[in-house]
Structure 1
Amino acid sequence: MRRIIPPLIFGILGCAVLISLGVWQLRRLEWKESVLAEIEMRIASAPVPLEEAEAEYAPVTLSGEITGPALRFIYSGTEEDIVAAVQTEAGRRVIVDLGLVPARPMASAPPELPEGRVEITGNLVMPVGRGGTLHLDQSNAWAARELGNLAEVLGAEPVFVVARQIEPTIPGLTPLPVSAEGIPNNHFGYAIQWFGIALVWAGMSLYLIRRTLRAKD
């Protein structure tokens, strides 16, 4: 019987570690769901002036003029995301994601944006682009969003607002409001993976114990 003690201990310890990792992921799932619920509540709360907002996803309002060239971001095969700087009436220059327009040939110029005062309601976010912001060509087409690079290109503060309503409306442009749906929450899948590995580990341990017992016979 002593010969099966090492594989038995090996199997029990391995299963214990793997199961504990699965349980940890379930706890992380509960935490992430509470965070997402809080974000959804924050997104849906009443907007405040941009100068009073602090937390990410906070609803804000701002008034000013859209200035400088617009940047086109590849959103899908049929749509582009338009980002531009807004000079606010409070004297700030911030970055605003205005929304989606139908995709156009890469060499075409960005869409014309309205002159004069606009009122924007949206949410503060922190965009992160993989590998930084990649400029594709001379028509202000870009492949990723990275806040520091955008601020430098647009000559604006590193403050990013995603519009959900623009007055007056911009013809052909559809705002893309912020939501928590795009925030990853894969902890349940990770938990299933750990529990599955624990099951395989248990099976392999039992197989090893059986082989050890047969070898003894």
Structure 2
Amino acid sequence: MRRLFLPLFFGIVGTAILLKLGFWQVDRLAWKEAELARIDAKIADAPIAVPKAPTEAQDEYLPVTATGQTGAEELHVLASSKQTGAIYRVVTAFETTDGRRLLLDRGWVKPFAKDDVRGTVSATIVGNLLWPDERSKHTPENDVAGNTWFARDIAEMAAILNTEPLLVVQRDIVEGSPEITPMPVTSTGIPNDHLQYAVTWFGLALVWIVMTLYYLRRMRTREKV
């Protein structure tokens, strides 16, 4: 029995740790689903006027509306869509009737339409505030000279277009600009892998139990021999 104690001890401890990690991921799954539901509700809420000094912590995804005119200069952000493949987001300045200049993500065009000339549009837009987090160590540097961006870097875009460092992602099609398809903010891009992680930890716990029982059985068999 003394020889069996140590593998049995590690078997119990290892199983307990793996099960604890699995249940922790179950708790995280419930939290993430509640957070996604909150974000979805906020995105779809009734739009309000753009706040004077919004913050990312308080106003991420806030629905807003503003009346004004789009700028003529466009910044093109390379992106992709499951339905259409490679696309370019079109980001312009948006000058409101009260004199503010904001960044406006108007939507997307296909690569062949990237350099088409599109006029300015006067409209009331509805969208959501967003602070994109699209840059990682693998993201190429923006080709500003060639007007091909690989991430919506708000500060850099605002400096080029002479706007506030504030991005509104357009939600609806604006009359007079049908060639640009809106790509509204959704929660679908927010990762939620906690169920997969939970299944992985519970699976490892099951494997650990089986291996422990197998090892104990072999030791018992050897002792009898």
TM-score range, shorter-chain basis?
A: 0.7 to 0.9
Change beyond 3 A, Cα 1:112–1:118: farther
Matched to 1:44, the amino acid is A
Distance 2:180 2:61 in 1: 22
* Offset at residue 55 of structure 1 (A): 1.9
> For 1:117-196, what aligned pairs fall within 5 Å after superposition?
117-131=122-136, 134-136=141-143, 138-196=145-203
1:99 and 1:163 in contact (8 A); partners too: yes
Aligned residues: 214
Structure 1 residues without counterparts, runs of 5 or longer:
none
2:101 alignment partner in structure 1? 93
1:212 alignment partner in structure 2? 219
Q: 2:66 pairs with 46, 52, 62, which one?
A: 62
Q: Compute the TM-score of the two structures, normalised by the length of structure 2.
A: 0.85
Distance 1:149 1:4 in 2: 64
Cα RMSD for the two superposed structures? 2.2
Distance 1:153 1:215 in 2: 76
Distance 1:22 1:149 in 2: 42
2:103 and 2:167 in contact (8 A); partners too: yes
1:17 alignment partner in structure 2? 17
1:133 and 1:146 in contact (8 A); partners too: no
> For 1:22-61, what aligned pairs fall within 5 Å after superposition?
22-51=22-51, 54-61=58-65
* Offset at residue 94 of structure 1 (A): 1.6
SS in 2 for 1:81: strand
Matched to 2:87, the amino acid is E
Structure 2 residues without counterparts, runs of 5 or longer:
none
1:73 and 1:82 in contact (8 A); partners too: yes
1:62 and 1:121 in contact (8 A); partners too: yes
SS in 2 for 1:51: coil
Q: Compute the TM-score of the two structures, normalised by the length of structure 1.
A: 0.88
